[in-house]
Amino acid sequence: GSTIGILGGGQLGRMMAMAAAQLGYRCHIYAPESESVAADVAADFTQGSYSDEAALAAFAAQCDVVTYEFENVPVGPLAALGDVPLRANARALEIAQDRLAEKNFVADLGGTPAPYRALADETGLFKAIAAIGTPGILKTRRDGYDGKGQWRIRDGCDADELTVPPIPMIYEGFVRFATEFSVIMVRGLDGQVRFWDSAANEHDGGILSRSTVPAGRVVVAQVPAARKLAAAVAETLDYVGVLTLEFFATDDGPVFNEMAPRVHNSGHWTIEGAITSQFENHIRAICGLPLGDCGLRVPGAVMDNLIGTTAEEALPILKDPAAHLHLYGKGEAREGRKMGHVTRLILQEADE
Ligand code: ATP
Ligand code: MG
Ligand code: MG
């Protein structure tokens, strides 16, 4: 059989590897950490730095295709992968790992991000606030996830009190939204695109807590415009694999938040709730196989993240025979750490 290389060792890689195994592929995980919940379910594991070109080259030599489950992999050293295809490609990775680049890119394609401005120097925050106003959010351009590297700024006083770290930062206006939603799509090697139903996403402290499909009327009305943008992003990048765009549903239509060049937490419901899961279709796409149907299998689904929950605390969920429990096999249940998720299928059509 063939071997799929996966950069990144977290739960997304774990679920990718599980889907790959079903299709007869072996997975080889490459990650800097000594322990990896993806490696726990994969055939091979290389512990190595993302900037170690020799180690990356040796890894690639054992893979037929390489993908990633983590978008903060430095792009330069990936040249060491040589002729082994990287899917999605390095250009997608490069754009999606920099909030300024991704907002510029999406704006050029006709999308609407929140008003934004990159900080050029120490006085940049004040200039940005003068241009955009408050409230707003100051974010690191790179490396942020789960709301890390973000500072909410209610007014000028908040800004005065803040010590802005000396790294690339971006300030964006605070968006007043009805709900948040995501567009998750897959694009095949042949350019075919398919979309899953959009989930309404709820966050708690910057971390996704719940995704629900169907997402409700407000979102459903904005999905066509959001899909059009997502398709343009995928097309322009000649993207292969699963791609996610996050949006705010506002009175003025969908406002783009960010993109993830990968499978997404708000798509975990697809494992049981869709005909083909995001993980399976990602594997199919990067391996050049025909894509599976992204349609719903059931009238709806609700996915709840288990954040900082121990296995002992989570296992009683199984008393609900309709709950699909996923535990990632992580050791310590630290606060804010995604330990698993649970999906409950909605089996009866809601009365309109
Ligand atoms: P992820 O784990 O999704 O990659 P992240 O760390 O990249 O998260 P964002 O998606 O930028 O963070 O922000 C996290 C959450 O904070 C958003 O889903 C939204 O709830 C809120 N948020 C971020 N930016 C804004 C904004 N400009 N206006 C209003 N809310 C925002
Ligand atoms: Mg993000
Ligand atoms: Mg986000």
Structural domain boundaries of the chain?
A: 3-86, 115-173, 179-346
Q: Which CB contacts under 8 angstroms, 24+ apart, belong to 296-299?
A: 296/197, 296/213, 297/272, 297/273, 297/345, 298/273, 298/345, 298/346, 298/347, 299/214, 299/346, 299/347, 299/348, 299/349, 299/350
Top-level CATH class of 115-173?
A: alpha beta
CATH number of 3-86: 3.40.50.20
What is the chain's pLDDT, residue by residue, as a tens digit (352 residues)?
699 999 999 999 999 999 999 999 999 999 999 999 999 999 999 999 999 999 999 999 999 999 999 999 999 999 999 999 999 999 999 999 999 999 999 999 999 999 999 999 888 999 999 999 999 999 999 998 888 999 999 998 888 899 989 999 999 999 999 999 999 999 999 999 999 999 999 999 999 999 999 999 999 999 999 999 999 999 999 999 999 999 999 999 999 999 999 999 999 999 999 999 999 999 999 999 999 999 999 999 999 999 999 999 999 999 999 899 999 999 999 999 999 999 999 998 877 5
Asked whether the ipTM of the predicted complex exceeds the cut of 0.85, the reply is yes
Annotate 244-280 with DSSP letters as a single string. Answer: EEEEEEETTEEEEEEEESS--GGGTTHHHHBSS-HHH
CATH number of 179-346: 3.30.470.20
Is ligand 1 within 6 A of the CB of residue 146? yes
Which residue lies with its CA nearest to atom 7 of ligand 1?
145
How much distance in Å is there from the Cα of 259 to the middle of ligand 1? 11
Which residue lies with its CA nearest to atom 26 of ligand 1?
174
Q: What are phi and psi for residue 310, nearest 5 degrees?
A: -80, 160
